[in-house]
């Protein structure tokens, strides 16, 4: 495996009409979860990715497993729980530019994950372990599972990648800040957004914030700056990597996961760090132009085309 990831994936319902969801009659159903989004992004780019999770023993659990398997991600470590449900998630489009997200995931099957769900050998055979700050927010068990997965990775020489992915609806600010800071310090590579960096370390400029993550323990800091691109800070390379212009943002959700998949894909392919981040910027931009978290993730040919066209 190139990358193994771990986390909750839900069925995503999107009303076909805009406005308040109470008036919506028809919904599309898709599959969404930050970590499986990354795994799918990597698989589309030709890498080997695995996803660890728990699903409810219900039709939605079956849907998620078969969708992710169909995308070429290894789901051999996914288990089914017959006493809890698969999580659901609604993306309400209030106006053309205003989304409202609503979760139905408390006490879901994934929130009951425990370190019994982890196989050290499976993790030790990967090059990278990708985890996010969503999973520890689901439950104490989930937090311990993330810690254990990181411990297995570290003692087997697997590079740990952490994306804070702050979800304020899931926990209190003070606890979130404490946990995200701790996990960021245990990772080799961190991928915070500038807002998340400010949430964790306080308001400052991107250079000082990147330095704060570095001083906290991460060897490579890749900070997302939205449309502007990203800022990189590591021993070998420091500086901006410009973003790609987007004609029209259709759905921004999942762009950060596309960015993570693109950066990791570049690193796996042996690109220099800033070139890898450029690939991340391109994938992130492409995701925003299509509805759904994963539907806009490109294969290698489309990605190369997009990069070449934009920079001709
Ligand atoms: O990054 C996209 C995710 O936010 C979305 O897929 C849902 O995993 C999700 C979450 O917990 O918000």
The pLDDT tens digits of the residues spanning 227-276 come to 899 999 998 889 999 999 898 888 889 999 999 999 999 999 999 999 99
Q: Is 163 in the pocket of ligand 1 (CB under 6 A)?
A: no
- Which ipTM value was assigned to this complex? 0.96
Topology at the third CATH level for domain 3-310: 3.40.1190
The protein residue with its alpha carbon nearest to ligand 1, atom 8, reads 33
Checking if the pLDDT of 312 tops 80, the result is no
Checking if the pLDDT of 22 tops 70, the result is yes
Lowest mean pLDDT segment, chosen from 24-28, 47-51, 94-98, 171-175: 94-98
Residues tagged active-site: 257
Q: Which residue among 33, 105, 254 is best mutated to probe the pocket of ligand 1, counting the most ligand atoms within 8 A of its Cβ?
A: 33
Write the DSSP string, 74-105: B-TTEEEETTSPPPEEEEEEEETTEEEEEEE-
Residue appearing with tokens 């969801």 = 21
Give the relative orientation of helices 59-70 and 34-44 as an angle to the nearest 10 degrees. Answer: 30
Domain limits of the chain? 3-310
CA distances from 51 to 1, 281, 296 (A): 10, 23, 20
Checking if the pLDDT of 107 tops 70, the result is yes
Q: What is the pTM of this model?
A: 0.95
Q: Please report the atom of ligand 1 found closest to the CA of residue 255.
A: 1
Please, what is the average pLDDT of the chain? 95
């Amino acid at each position: 495996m190139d990358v193994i990831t771990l986390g909750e994936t839900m069925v995503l319902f999107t009303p076909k009409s805009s406005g308040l969801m109470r008036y919506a009659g028809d919904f599309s159903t898709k599959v969404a979860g930050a970590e499986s989004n990354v795994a799918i992004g990597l698989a589309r780019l030709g890498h080997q990715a695995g996803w660890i999770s728990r699903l409810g023993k219900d039709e939605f659990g079956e849907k998620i497993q078969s969708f992710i398997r169909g995308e070429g991600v290894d789901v051999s470590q996914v288990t089914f729980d017959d006493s809890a449900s698969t999580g659901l998630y609604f993306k309400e489009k209030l106006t053309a530019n205003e989304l409202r997200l609503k979760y139905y995931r408390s006490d879901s099957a994934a929130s009951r994950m425990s370190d019994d769900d982890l196989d050290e050998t499976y993790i030790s055979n990967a090059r990278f372990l990708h985890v996010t700050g969503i999973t520890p927010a689901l439950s104490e068990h989930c937090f311990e599972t993330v810690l254990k997965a990181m411990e297995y990775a570290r003692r087997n020489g697997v590079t740990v990648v952490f994306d804070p992915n702050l979800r304020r609806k899931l926990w209190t600010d003070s606890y979130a800040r404490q946990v995200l800071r701790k996990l960021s310090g245990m990772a080799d590579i961190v991928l915070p957004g500038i807002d998340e960096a400010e949430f964790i370390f306080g308001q400052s400029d991107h250079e000082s914030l990147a330095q704060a993550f570095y001083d906290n323990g991460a060897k490579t800091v890749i900070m997302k700056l939205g449309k502007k691109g990203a800022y990189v800070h590591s021993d070998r390379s420091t500086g901006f990597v410009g973003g790609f212009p987007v004609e029209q943002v259709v759905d921004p959700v999942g762009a950060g996961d596309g960015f993570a998949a693109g950066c990791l894909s570049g690193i796996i392919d042996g690109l220099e760090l800033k070139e890898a981040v450029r690939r991340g910027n391109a994938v992130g931009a492409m995701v925003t132009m299509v509805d759904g978290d994963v539907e806009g993730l490109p294969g290698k040919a489309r990605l190369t085309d997009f990069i070449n066209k934009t920079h001709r």
